[in-house]
Amino acid sequence: MRVVMKILAVAVVVAAGGWAYQANVASGKVAMDMNMRVTSGNTPFPVVLAPVERGKIAGAVTYTGSVAAFNEEDVYPRVTGRIVEMPVYPGDLVRAGQVVARLDDVELASKVREGEAMLTTAQANRAQMEAELVAARHAVVQMEKEFQMAEAEAGYQQLVAARDERLFTKGAIAQQDAESSRAMAVSAKAKVEAARAKVEQMKAMEASARKKIEAMETMVTQAQAQLRTAQVVRDYVAIQSASAGYVVKRLVAPGVLVQPGMPILKIAQIDRVRLQANVGEKDLASVKVGSSVVVTTSSGTQAPIGARVTSVFPFVDQAGRTGVVEAVVANAGRQLLPGQYVQMQFVTGERKDALTVPRGAVSRLGAKATVWVLRGDRVEPREVVTGLESPDRVEIIRGLTGDERVVAQGHEGLYADARVRKETKTTPAPASEPQKGTMGSSEHGGHQSAPAPPAPMKPETPMPTKESPQGGHAGHGG
């Protein structure tokens, strides 16, 4: 059985060889030349070279931001009513305290009249109580006078009774006369007590009148407060703007019945605006309050605006790992409008004596940065540590000495010890143009990444041919 299997295997190999010979030789077709290969060493890569320079560099990062109003106010009614007038329209400038809408005041005006009537009644009652108090005071004075007269009469009768008692003991008068004098003295004393009781009664009436007046004063004060409240509430029908600004939007139309807390207008203060960008957390540490910002509009029709960072929000969004950085700028001419996109270039630092290379010379793979350094007519990769980055140059902290020449363009596809030739034609992007990147998904825009590397400059390599008799190769490997 094993012998049969070996014979079958040999037959299959022989059949495959015969088929290959027939397909590639006997049929007359040109077979693939396996000796043809792309090798290195003969055809140089065209590149743009640049020297490593030492000088001043200002690091900057660019993000897409947006314009927000310095302050926004939603105008609300404070009472229920139907809008009968709305004299402002989007785009109108309003002053602080200006009436921007008016409600009907029929019901509220009726409550004011009701409050006025209640106040009048309370004041009339207070006047009546004041008159009763005056009468009570007069009665007290009168009763005090009668009390004094009764005391005087009682004193006189006491003296007469004492005199008649002495005369009776001496037999000068009859007993009946003495008893009559004693009776009159007792009567006079009773009148004194009665007068005293009337004085106390009048004083109590005076105190009662005073208490009533105090109660009436309270009622008058309450009626006055209710009237003032009714007047204030009635004045709420004239809806005023709390701050100056421009009308951004009408949220309801005249004739609509509105409730307290229902927004009817939006007013924005845009003589100053807030420029806000979501800055990646890796750049947040280098952006400080007071850092310079260069702002350009997305349309590019306005001159760049110089500003300073006024606020770095003290939290990072967990979803985008970004933090909001804000710059407040004057906007007297309304060049910037809320919701508009802007490019914000933040200065992250400055060094006066730094080694720098063109931005396009740095290749990045993750956290690793590499530049291609010229050695004779060949190049070698050099891992470097970068520092500050400007729109057109990158600081090299470690990896270069300063006397090298590096590949600024055309390093795509290079390999270690590859031959290069200097290419003089180049069309770099102007340094003044804003860096282009992808817009983030956050509200204030995304980080502008470094400029995309130029398209690979393909070497002028001829089509591969068969290996020459001397063993040279027509192409280059890579």
Q: What is the residue-wise DSSP string for 312-355?
A: E-S--BTTTTEEEEEEEEE-TT--S-TT-EEEEEEEEEEEEEEE
Q: How far is CA 220 from CA 99, 122, 214, 224, in A?
A: 33, 5, 10, 6
Across 22-31, 93-102, 413-422, which has the greatest mean pLDDT? 93-102
Angle at 294 between CA 289 and CA 298, to 5 degrees: 125
What is the phi-psi region of residue 83: left when phi exceeds 0, alpha when psi lies from -120 to 50, beta otherwise? Answer: beta
Q: Which of 226, 258, 290 is the last residue of a domain?
A: 258
Band (pLDDT 50/70/90 cuts) for residue 256 is very high
Q: Are residues 133 and 248 in the same domain?
A: no
Q: How confident is the model at residue 36 (pLDDT cuts 50, 70, 90)?
A: very low
Is it the case that residue 474 has pLDDT exceeding 90?
no
- pLDDT tier at 278, thresholds 50, 70, 90: very high
Instruction: Note the pLDDT of residue 195.
Output: 84
Categorise residue 255: left if φ over 0, alpha if ψ from -120 to 50, beta otherwise: left
* pLDDT computed for residue 20 by the predictor: 53
Indicate whether 179 belongs to any domain.
yes
User: Phi-psi region for residue 335, left (φ > 0), alpha (ψ -120 to 50) or beta?
Assistant: alpha
Count the alpha carbons within 13 Å of 391 in the hemisphere toward its beta carbon. Answer: 19
Question: Rounded mean pLDDT of the chain?
Answer: 80
Per-residue confidence (pLDDT) for residue 455, from 0 to 100: 37
In this structure, is residue 190 part of a structural domain? yes
Which pLDDT score is estimated for 31?
39
Which two structure tokens, joined as six digits, stand for 32?
A: 């693939």
Q: What is the pLDDT of residue 180?
A: 86
Quick check: is 126 in a domain?
yes
Asked whether residue 125 falls in the same domain as residue 193, the answer is yes
Helix (H) or strand (E) holding 269: strand 265-280
What's residue 151's pLDDT? 84
Q: Note the pTM of the prediction, 2 decimals.
A: 0.55
**C-beta of residue 296 within 8 angstroms of C-beta of residue 432:** no
Q: Kindly state whether residue 266 falls inside one of the protein's structural domains.
A: no
Q: 132 is in which domain, residue-wise? A: 107-235
Percent of residues in the chain assigned helix, strand, coil, to nearest 5: 35, 30, 35
Verify that 117 and 228 share a domain, yes or no. yes
Domain boundary among 186, 204, 235: 235
Check whether residue 175 and residue 214 sit in a common domain: yes
Please say if the pLDDT value at position 461 is more than 70: no
Interval 191-234: pLDDT, tens: 888 888 888 888 888 888 888 888 888 899 999 999 998 888 88
Does residue 231 share a domain with residue 111?
yes
Q: Does 39 map to a domain?
A: no
pLDDT at residue number 78? 92
pLDDT per residue over 287-316, tens digit each?
A: 989 989 999 987 777 788 899 999 999 999
Answer yes or no: are the C-beta atoms of 354 and 52 closer than 8 Å. Answer: no
Q: Which runs of E-coded beta strand occur in 8-110?
A: 45-51, 53-75, 81-85, 93-94, 99-103
Same-domain pairing of 184 and 249: no
Q: Quick check: is 302 in a domain?
A: no
Does 410 have pLDDT greater than 50? Answer: yes
pLDDT for residue 40 is more than 50? no
pLDDT at 424: 65
Give pLDDT tens digits for 44-91: 899 999 999 999 988 888 899 999 999 999 999 999 999 999 999 998
Question: What pLDDT is stored for residue 467 in this prediction?
Answer: 36
Same domain? 175 vs 198? yes
Predicted local distance difference test score (pLDDT) of residue 249 = 92
Mean per-residue pLDDT, 363-390: 91
Instruction: Indicate whether 345 belongs to any domain.
Output: no
Beta carbons within 10 angstroms of residue 240's beta carbon: 15
Final residue belonging to a domain, choices 203, 235, 267: 235
Q: In terms of domains, do 225 and 149 share one?
A: yes
In a domain, 88, yes or no: yes
Predicted pLDDT of residue 453: 37
Q: Return the CATH number at 214.
A: 1.10.287
pLDDT at residue 452 above 60? no
Higher pLDDT, 220 or 7: 220
The verdict on 127 and 198 lying in the same domain is: yes
Give the least confident one: 36-50, 212-226, 434-448: 434-448
For residues 398-409, give the mean pLDDT: 91
Instruction: Answer yes or no: do 89 and 115 share one domain.
Output: no
Mean per-residue pLDDT, 247-268: 92
Same domain for 230 and 112: yes
Total tally of structural domains belonging to the chain: 2
* Same-domain check for residues 85 and 228: no
- CATH number of domain containing 90: 2.40.50.100
